[in-house]
């Protein structure tokens, strides 16, 4: 029996490379494509990409740095006339203030108010004076016309509601017009006194109007 013979052949170097086991391919590192979100999310939405132009008010997509047009308050505008609360100094100054339009007179009177209703005390109820609603409506209508006077119901007097000042112990100071002349007066809204005398007739109507402006609920 013949011994097996081993034969060796030289293989070209170029061909030997194809005989080696296949190695895993090296994957080239690529940046994360990212998505819609913040500045660290990748190559998605770039800072500055947004909807609209400066001043539109809709802003951009994302946070406050994400787009053109993101400006606090843009598109809403400034407070309009009549929305600003009248300063304390405006009350009793006998001058019109724009904030009183639309019922704004009653909201910020700088003294205690609200207790004087339709028939708040005995003297007013006995005198049959005008109700709170009538005085309130007259003040609101006058303010809407940029005026500072109202006609006192049942009288020829004109009360300067912008001159009314509430004083301690439920007293009141005001100015009214009688026969074309401006007259200053003081009153006690609890006792029913006008310039120290009991208010009756048209004087009761005048005092009631001043007390309603000073202490009425404004409704």
Q: If DSSP states are collapsed to H, E and C, what string results for the chain? A: CCCCCCCCCCCCHHHHHCCCCCCCCCCCCCCCCCCCCCCCCCCCCCCECCCCCCCCCCCCCCCCCCECCCCCCCCCCCCCCCCCCCCHHHCCCCCCCHHHHHHHHHHHCCCCCCCCCCCCCHHHHHHCCCCHHHHHHHHHHHHHCCCCEEECCCCCCEEEEEEEEEECCCEEEEEEEECCEEEEEEEECCCCEECCEECCCHHHHHHHHHHHHHHCCCC
Q: Which residue has the higher pLDDT, 63 or 216?
A: 216
In the chain, the percentage of residues whose pLDDT exceeds 90 is 49
How many domains, in total, are found in the chain? 1
Evaluate whether residue 94 is within a structural domain. yes
Evaluate whether residue 187 is within a structural domain. yes
Evaluate whether residue 75 is within a structural domain. no
Evaluate whether residue 149 is within a structural domain. yes
Question: pLDDT tens, 101-143?
Answer: 999 999 889 999 989 987 678 898 888 899 999 999 999 999 9
Evaluate whether residue 9 is within a structural domain. no
Average pLDDT, integer, range 64-79: 54
Stated pTM of the model: 0.62
Structural domain span for residue 206 = 88-215
Evaluate whether residue 100 is within a structural domain. yes
């Amino acid at each position: 029996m013949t011994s097996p013979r081993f034969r060796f052949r030289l293989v070209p170097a170029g061909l030997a490379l194809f005989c080696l086991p296949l190695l895993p391919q090296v994957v080239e590192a690529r940046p994360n494509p990212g998505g819609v979100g913040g500045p660290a999310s990748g190559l998605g939405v770039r800072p500055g990409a947004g909807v609209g132009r400066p001043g539109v008010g809709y802003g951009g997509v994302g946070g406050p740095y994400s787009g053109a047009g993101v400006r606090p308050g843009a598109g809403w505008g400034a407070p309009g006339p009549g929305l600003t609360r009248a300063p304390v100094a405006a009350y009793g100054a006998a001058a019109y203030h724009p904030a009183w339009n639309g019922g704004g007179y009653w909201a910020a009177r700088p003294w205690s108010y609200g207790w004087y209703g339709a028939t708040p005390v005995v003297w007013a109820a006995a005198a049959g004076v005008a109700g709170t609603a009538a005085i309130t409506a007259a003040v609101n209508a006058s303010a809407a016309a940029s005026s500072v006077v109202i006609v006192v119901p049942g009288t020829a007097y004109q009360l300067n509601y912008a001159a009314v000042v509430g004083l301690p112990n439920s007293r009141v100071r005001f100015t009214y017009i009688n026969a074309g002349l401006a007259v200053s007066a003081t009153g006690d809204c609890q006792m029913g006194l006008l310039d120290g005398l009991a208010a009756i007739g048209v004087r009761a109507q005048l005092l009631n109007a001043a007390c309603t402006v000073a202490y009425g609920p404004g409704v």
